[in-house]
Amino acid sequence: HYGDLLRRLWGQQRPGVRRVLVQAGAVVPPPPPVGRAALPAGASQPMPVDARYSFDNFIVGKSNELAYNAALAMAEPGSPGFNPLFLHGTTGLGKTHLMHAIGNAYLARQPQARVAYLSAEKFMVEFLAALRAKDTISFKQRLRSVDLLMIDDVQFIAGKDSTQEEFFHTMNEIIGAGKRLVITADRSPQNLEGIQERILSRMVWGLVADINPADYELRYNILHSKVAGLARRVSVPDDVIEFLARKITTNVRELEGALNRVTAFALLVGKPITLEFTRETLADILRAQEKKLTIDEIQRKVADYYGLKVADLLSERRAREVARPRQIAMYLAKKMTPRSLPEIGRRFGKRDHTTVMHAVKKVEQLRAEDREIDSDVATLARLLDG
């Protein structure tokens, strides 16, 4: 979408650049600086902490104050007063930012410390790969030898028994050795379905801190901070900042995305940013915000309607009594939210976007052929609209 703008900006810096080629593919993480990781030879690299995220550029408000202060404490030298730290909140509220901030602050104070950050999905993928290669010892040594281990989106391992077994023992090793463990999820431990009770017990043993949706004041402050960094390139009037802070309420990620979209489009077309320009540029997003319907709500409503648990919809179960409601939930998510196919797939147990496409086509076909399913889908849509 921004190919012309990229080419023009590159051309300003390097006149010889005539075109910009954008390719999608696997990103190979850079090797860690000396002292930041101690990995056995041939071991796969955990995702390194991202230097862009720090405590200094995390905007604090009432909704995230407890989580922020807990994260600060986890990064302090000496023995932490609690362990593990469990952060939870819906997507886009700053959980991952705080994890990277902890890692960066901890390394700044103890440069020789060993830190590992990885998603629960990556934990599972690497563990299963180690099982297949009959080399679980290297996997265990690599993670259990770190000083600070951070696992993101732990809800992903719901229902994955073998992965949970290894995760439990990793938690025990880290905590038992007096090392630090930080875990995040999209919901509280009490609401994590499909996770073993002994793991949940360990999670609440330390400190559980929630991150709630940002209120107007925090949203305004976040935007104001972002706009300050854009001052040299583009001017964003105060009335536009106030408008965005009042209208984009879903999460911080979408709030920042809306600002990025407005500023990028203004640069692309060479127009000043006004309230009218902002309304036109974000017309589709603003319409979606008015509905305020989330994938979580759709999953809960569909699960209740069919007498299932949300964890069933996210699981690998393929029995018709689970698979059909799952497809209907995906179909409704596509039709009733502005979310992309890949994002919908991720929210349904990290499934591929092609799975969502298949579900949408299948439900459309079934609605045309099966009056009962058509009635079910129509009823659910009315319930969700209400």
Instruction: Look at residue 291 in the predicted model and tell me its pLDDT.
Output: 59
Instruction: Look at residue 332 in the predicted model and tell me its pLDDT.
Output: 93
- Give the angle 102-129-168 at the CA atoms, nearest 5°: 50
Tell me the average pLDDT across 358-372: 91
Q: What CATH code is assigned to 295-385? A: 1.10.1750.10
Distance CA 353, CA 346 (A): 8
pLDDT at 233 over 70: yes
pLDDT at 130 over 80: yes
Confidence of residue 25 (pLDDT cuts 50, 70, 90): low
Tell me the average pLDDT across 310-337: 91
pLDDT tens digits, 58-91: 999 888 999 999 999 999 988 778 999 999 988 8
Residue of 30, 86, 359, 60 lying closest to 215 (CA atoms):
60
Tell me the average pLDDT across 313-325: 90
Give strand pairing partners of 210: 88
Residue of 77, 91, 162 lying closest to 125 (CA atoms):
162
- SS3 category, 168: helix
Tell me the average pLDDT across 100-109: 94
Residue 61 burial by Cβ neighbours in a 10 Å radius (0-12, 13-18, 19+):
middle
Confidence of residue 26 (pLDDT cuts 50, 70, 90): very low
Instruction: Look at residue 241 in the predicted model and tell me its pLDDT.
Output: 92
Residue of 61, 120, 125, 116 lying closest to 94 (CA atoms):
61
Helix axes 353-369, 320-336, angle to 10 degrees: 100
Distance CA 303, CA 130 (A): 35
Distance CA 5, CA 267 (A): 8
Instruction: Look at residue 50 in the predicted model and tell me its pLDDT.
Output: 86
Indicate the CATH number of 65-210 among 3.40.50.970, 1.10.10.10, 3.30.360.10, 3.40.50.300.
3.40.50.300
Distance CA 386, CA 384 (A): 5
Domain ranges of the chain: 65-210, 216-291, 295-385
Instruction: Look at residue 30 in the predicted model and tell me its pLDDT.
Output: 43
What fold is seen in the domain 216-291?
A: Helicase, Ruva Protein; domain 3 (1.10.8)
pLDDT tens digits, 256-276: 999 999 999 998 888 899 989
